Amino acid sequence: MKYLMWLLKAAIFFTLFAFALNNQQDATVHFFFGTQWRAPMVLVVLAAFALGVAVGALGMVPRWWKQRSAARRQRQADTPQEEAAPTPPPPQAQPAAGDANDIPHGI
């Protein structure tokens, strides 16, 4: 399985490398107001991909925040609420003088 994954990664890499070598000619991207950008086709495709990833991630941010706050509210609802004043434990009875408990430990 490990070798199959390396083979798949190598195939993807060489496919993208061949794509880059075959598309070295300049491409012109025309923006508004007569502005243009001339760059190799590979850079234009890479920039468009990176811009698409960034826009997609930014589009998912509000949903991430909403789900995160819902998970936080659910976690707070699942934890037991502490009572106003916890009751202290009952006092321990003191041993009588001369009891075996009077001897310090380790001596």
In this predicted structure, what is the pLDDT of residue 7? 93
Segment (H or E) for 55: helix 41-78
Confidence of residue 66 (pLDDT cuts 50, 70, 90): very high
How many domains, in total, are found in the chain?
A: 1
pTM of the prediction? Answer: 0.50
The answer to whether residue 81 is domain-embedded is no
In this predicted structure, what is the pLDDT of residue 57? 93
In this predicted structure, what is the pLDDT of residue 78? 84
What residues make up the domain containing 66? 12-76
pLDDT digits 0-9 by tens, 29-40: 888 998 888 988
Residue 97: what are its φ and ψ, rounded to 5°?
Answer: -65, 140
Cα separation, 99 vs 90, whole angstroms: 22
Work out the angle at residue 77's Cα, subtended by the Cα atoms of residues 76 and 81, and round it to the nearest 5 degrees. 80
Cα separation, 28 vs 41, whole angstroms: 9
- The closest of 22, 16, 20, 14 to 43, measured between CA atoms, is 20
**pLDDT score of 17 more than 90:** no
In this predicted structure, what is the pLDDT of residue 65? 92
The answer to whether residue 97 is domain-embedded is no
The answer to whether residue 103 is domain-embedded is no
- The closest of 25, 57, 59, 58 to 44, measured between CA atoms, is 25
The answer to whether residue 82 is domain-embedded is no
Q: Across-strand partners of 28?
A: 38
Residues above pLDDT 90, as percent of the chain: 21
Confidence of residue 55 (pLDDT cuts 50, 70, 90): very high
